[in-house]
Amino acid sequence: MRPLGLALVGCGSIAQSAHLPAIRRLAAAGQVRLLAAMDVNVDAAQAVGREFGCAATGRLDEALDRDGVEAVVMCTPEAYHREGVEAAAARRLHVLSEKPMAKSLADADAMIAAARTAGIHLMIGHSRRFTGRYIEMRRAVLAGEVGEVRMVRENERRSRPADAARATYWTRDHWTGDPERSVGAILTNGIHEADLFNWFIGRTPLRVYAEHRVTRPGGAVPDFISFTVSYEGGALGASEVSNSAPPGYPAFHEFELFGTRGMTSARDHALRMTEEYRDGQGMRYPQAYDHLLHVEEAYVREHAAFVHSVRTGEPPPVTAEDGRLALAVALAADASARSGRPEPVDLGEGVAQ
């Protein structure tokens, strides 16, 4: 089967650290070919163009209209996803879009409508679903090993950038801190937790209670949030997300899942092994290296799943509707933090609340 022709839209940090390494791997395996790179910073696009021998441009239409392009990898900030998806759909190009799906539910609904009308696959890149440790934990849940899931908790802490290149993160001088383009930590980071809660609990999210803070000097959007999600049937998802640890503090992630028959957990940064408990079996400590959160393999799996979906016509493993549901939970958390009271999750048309 010939390689899938790709256009990369956005050549910034997430493209460099995650998507381009995956594209390199799949290109070497003959599964994809990068034909165009686009970024408003044309120098960044040209750097990608030189490495991959592809066209480089600062214009979206030029990237999408490149001969041979069949699919788009969208690595722009969420405020620009709707524009990119609608442009791709107009050309009947499939899309793998970075999370969060959009900045608003109105944008997400418009993206879903555009994809349905065009008959294209729109996959949302919730990368943690492709990380080894979560794949194994999900297998245990589906196999009934932990019983009915009653609570999922994931916390993550990240440091303020120490290097000059990223010193403006979470300030008005960077999109992560610009209220016109960013909602803050709940979408930049907490969207991961929202999606994992939905995925592991597998029931309808009903309401969210949250509190958030702006801790970054010069910040205009929250860089810290704590939120709890109530699900149909009584299960809970709980999370604390911080981007305000001191510079140099190692990224920290901790995941715990409690069921009626067992639990499972995992933690970075100490390269700690995953832990599992089962009634009648006690504790197990599986090998952890391939379960660590930040591994290239997760994005290789994500891209490979997208290519498989496009080539076979099968639905992508993370649908646009999955992306919208995670966004709805995250935006309910933001609304709750602003109102000071629990807020309902907007499930969209046709779903009772």
Q: Which two tokens stand for residue 116?
A: 């349905």
**What is the end-to-end Cα distance of the chain in Å, rounded?**
45
Could you tell me how far CA 211 lies from the centroid of its own chain? 22
pLDDT (0 to 100) of residue 182: 84
Distance of alpha carbon 314 from alpha carbon 308, whole angstroms: 8
CA 92 vs CA 62, 88, 114: distances in Å:
15, 6, 10
pLDDT (0 to 100) of residue 271: 45
Q: Which two tokens stand for residue 283?
A: 């504790």
For residues 122 and 320, is the Cβ–Cβ distance under 8 A? Answer: yes
The two beta strands, 94-98 and 122-125, are parallel
pLDDT (0 to 100) of residue 266: 85
Q: Could you tell me the fold of the domain covering 129-294+327-344?
A: Dihydrodipicolinate Reductase; domain 2 (3.30.360)
pLDDT (0 to 100) of residue 165: 64
| Distant-in-sequence, close-in-space partners of 340: CB < 8 Å, separation ≥ 6 | none
pLDDT (0 to 100) of residue 308: 98
**How many residues comprise the chain?**
353
Stretches in the chain below the pLDDT threshold 70:
162-166, 250, 269-274, 284-295, 350-353
Q: What are phi and psi of 51, to 5 degrees?
A: -70, -45
- Helix axes of 190-201 and 320-339: crossing angle, nearest 10 degrees: 120
pLDDT (0 to 100) of residue 293: 53
> Matching CATH topology for 4-126+299-317 and 129-294+327-344?
no
pLDDT (0 to 100) of residue 294: 54
pLDDT (0 to 100) of residue 140: 94
Put residue 340 in one of left, alpha, beta given phi > 0 → left and psi -120 to 50 → alpha. left
CA-nearest of 233, 211, 230 to 222 is 211
Q: What are phi and psi of 226, to 5 degrees?
A: -125, 130
Q: Is CATH 3.40.980.10 the right assignment for the domain spanning 4-126+299-317?
A: no
All structural domains of the chain with their residue ranges: 4-126+299-317, 129-294+327-344
